[in-house]
Amino acid sequence: MMLARALQSASDRRFVLWEPGSEGLSFDEGWLMALLEARTRGDGDSERFLLARRVRPQAWPVLRLLLDGMCDTLR
């Protein structure tokens, strides 16, 4: 999964992504869902806030590209 690898290299923190089918969401999965929702509704302020809390700025363009691909797939 490219997004998972990109997240790990985009931050000094370890992202926790649980196996598919697990009950509930990890904090990081909730963060990722909030980021996807902000991106989908065009809420740039929320998107920048969420990215700034977890990801180095130089990685933002790559993550945005991957998130856009994910949003297109989910539609």
pLDDT digits (tens, 9 = 90+) for 38-60: 988 999 999 999 999 999 999 99
Would 31 be classed as within a structural domain? yes
- Residues of the domain holding 38: 2-10+26-74
Would 39 be classed as within a structural domain? yes
Q: How many domains does the chain have?
A: 1
Would 50 be classed as within a structural domain? yes
Long-range pairs, 31-37, Cβ under 8 A, ≥24: 32/7, 35/67, 36/67, 36/70, 36/71
> What share of the chain has pLDDT > 70, as a percent?
96
Q: What is the pTM of this model?
A: 0.84
Would 19 be classed as within a structural domain? no
Number of other residues whose CB lies within 10 A of the CB of residue 66 = 18
Would 16 be classed as within a structural domain? no
Would 32 be classed as within a structural domain? yes
pLDDT of residue 8: 85
Spatial distance between the Cα atoms of 46 and 17, rounded to a whole number of angstroms:
22
Look-up: residue for tokens 């990109």? 6
Spatial distance between the Cα atoms of 50 and 45, rounded to a whole number of angstroms:
9
Would 64 be classed as within a structural domain? yes
